[in-house]
């Protein structure tokens, strides 16, 4: 990608609030406690028509934890597959200061002249809530367009010991969760079971977009993602678009998540604890998973 990225502002991901702590119905202490920040982010795109005329289009307003916003936008656009990311010439904050935590809550993506996207597919008429990234989309089917099973060269196996270690390794990298207990984490790991990057956000889909957007120079390849929570349709769709071949999760998958993993040959393990786990797809890739 040849576009220039304007420097992201240093943004605070936690705030301190005074709380009253109760035990057995009685106040036991009054003290300061940290909570995760949640703020809206407007995503706009600028495209050039014939000549020098241009259009600026509002795509979405998402509720997210500030930080890695450019990566979030790149990862989100990548998952939608509406443009080639190499057609982006610039990503920058724009607009007036409207919130305490950042210079702007608006990002403008500028495209090369003559490039346009199928924006009617992705435009939201309301907020994208931190709990749901696909809510408000015009269609679900097109999110899966042009997706195929993961290439065999990107598949790899994992041992039980490595599988058990991944959630703890992810949690050790989740600084915002450690401070607040209020955000999701997603980690990218390679075939050696090394977590290469961890991203956090109040919305799990935002954390995944940040992770993908921050690692587009690595992807695709023999990589997996480890999730701090459950596995939904949108998490698998984003993983499939990034050509990730394994998903390891602390929580449970949904029925549609399992179906998509099976369709795209993504190995899926859930409820991963220190002494047990469930394998939902590609059991042969979990070394020892079928041993009695």
Contact 33, 99 (CB under 8 A): no
Q: In the chain, which ranges are E strands? A: 4-5, 14-23, 26-36, 39-48, 54-64, 88-94, 106-111, 127-128, 158-159, 184-190, 195-201, 223-227, 246-249, 267-270, 278-281, 286-287
**Under a CB-based contact definition with an 8 Å cutoff, are residues 198 and 170 in contact?**
yes
* Helix, strand or coil, per DSSP, at residue 230: coil
CA 233, CA 168: separation in Å to the nearest integer? 24
Q: What's the rounded Cα separation, in Å, for the pair 108 and 13? A: 21
Residues belonging to the active site = 132
Give CA–CA dist 175/208, Å, rounded: 16
Q: Which two tokens stand for residue 158?
A: 């994992």
Nearest alpha-carbon partner for 284 in 246, 229, 255, 237: 246
Residue 7, C-beta contacts closer than 8 angstroms, at least 6 positions apart: none
State the pairing for strand pair 278-281/267-270. Answer: antiparallel
Query: Which residues does 61 contact at the CB level (< 8 Å), separation at least 6?
Result: 40, 41, 42, 43, 124, 127, 128
Burial of 76 (0-12, 13-18, 19+ CB in 10 A): buried
């Amino acid at each position: 990608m040849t576009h220039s990225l304007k420097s992201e502002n240093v943004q605070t991901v936690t705030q301190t609030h005074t709380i009253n702590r109760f035990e057995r119905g009685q106040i036991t202490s009054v003290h300061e406690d940290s909570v995760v920040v949640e703020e809206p982010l407007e995503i706009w795109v600028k495209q050039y028509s014939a000549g020098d005329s241009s259009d600026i289009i509002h795509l979405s307003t998402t509720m997210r934890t500030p930080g890695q916003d450019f990566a979030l936008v790149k990862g989100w656009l990548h998952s939608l597959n509406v443009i080639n990311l190499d057609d982006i010439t610039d990503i920058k904050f724009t607009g007036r200061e409207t919130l305490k935590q950042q210079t702007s809550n608006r990002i403008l993506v500028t495209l090369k002249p003559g490039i346009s996207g199928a924006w009617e597919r992705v435009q939201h008429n309301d907020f994208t809530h931190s709990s749901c990234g696909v809510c408000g989309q015009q269609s679900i089917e097109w999110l899966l367009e042009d997706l195929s099973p993961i290439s065999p060269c990107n598949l790899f196996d994992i041992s039980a010991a490595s599988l058990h270690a991944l959630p703890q390794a992810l949690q050790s990298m989740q600084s915002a969760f450690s401070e607040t207990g209020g955000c999701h984490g997603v980690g990218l790991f390679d075939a050696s079971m090394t977590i290469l990057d961890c991203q956090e956000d109040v919305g799990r889909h935002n954390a995944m977009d940040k992770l993908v957007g921050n690692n587009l120079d690595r992807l695709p390849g023999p990589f997996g993602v480890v999730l701090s929570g459950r596995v939904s349709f949108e998490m698998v769709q984003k993983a499939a678009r990034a050509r990730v071949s394994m998903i390891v999760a602390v929580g449970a998958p949904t029925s549609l998540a399992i179906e998509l993993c099976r369709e795209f040959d993504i190995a899926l393990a859930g409820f991963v604890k220190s002494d047990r786990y469930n394998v939902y797809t590609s059991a042969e890739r979990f070394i020892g998973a079928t041993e009695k």
